[in-house]
Structure 1
Amino acid sequence: MNTFCLFISLTFLIMTILFIKKRRLEFGYSVLWSIVCIILIILSVNGEIVNYLSNCLGIIYAPAFLFLIGIMFSFIMIFYLMIIISDLKKKITKLIQVNALLDNKINERLK
Structure 2
Amino acid sequence: MNLFCFMISLFFLVISIIFVRKRSLEFKWGLLWILVSLILMIFSIDSRIVEYLAKATGIMYAPAFLFFMGIVFNLIMIFYLMIVISSMQKKLTKLIQENSILKDRVEER
* Whole-angstrom CA distance in 2 between matches of 1:79 and 1:8: 26
The yes-or-no answer on 1:9 pairing with 2:9 is yes
C-alpha offsets along residues 52-96 of structure 1, whole Å, 9 cap, x if unaligned? 111111211110000000000000000111111011101101110
Return the letter of the residue paired with 1:30.
Answer: G
Partner of 1:66: 66
Return the letter of the residue paired with 1:41.
Answer: M
* Whole-angstrom CA distance in 2 between matches of 1:80 and 1:46: 31
* Whole-angstrom CA distance in 1 between matches of 2:100 and 2:28: 32
Give the gaps of 5 or more residues in structure 1.
Answer: none
* Whole-angstrom CA distance in 2 between matches of 1:6 and 1:52: 19
Give the gaps of 5 or more residues in structure 2.
Answer: none
Q: Secondary structure at the match of 2:93?
A: helix
Partner of 1:83: 83
Q: Percent identity?
A: 55
Partner of 1:19: 19
Q: Alignment length, in residue pairs? A: 109
TM-score under structure 2 length normalisation: 0.96
C-alpha offsets along residues 19-52 of structure 1, whole Å, 9 cap, x if unaligned? 1111110111111111111111111111010011
Return the letter of the residue paired with 2:41.
Answer: I
Return the letter of the residue paired with 1:83.
Answer: I
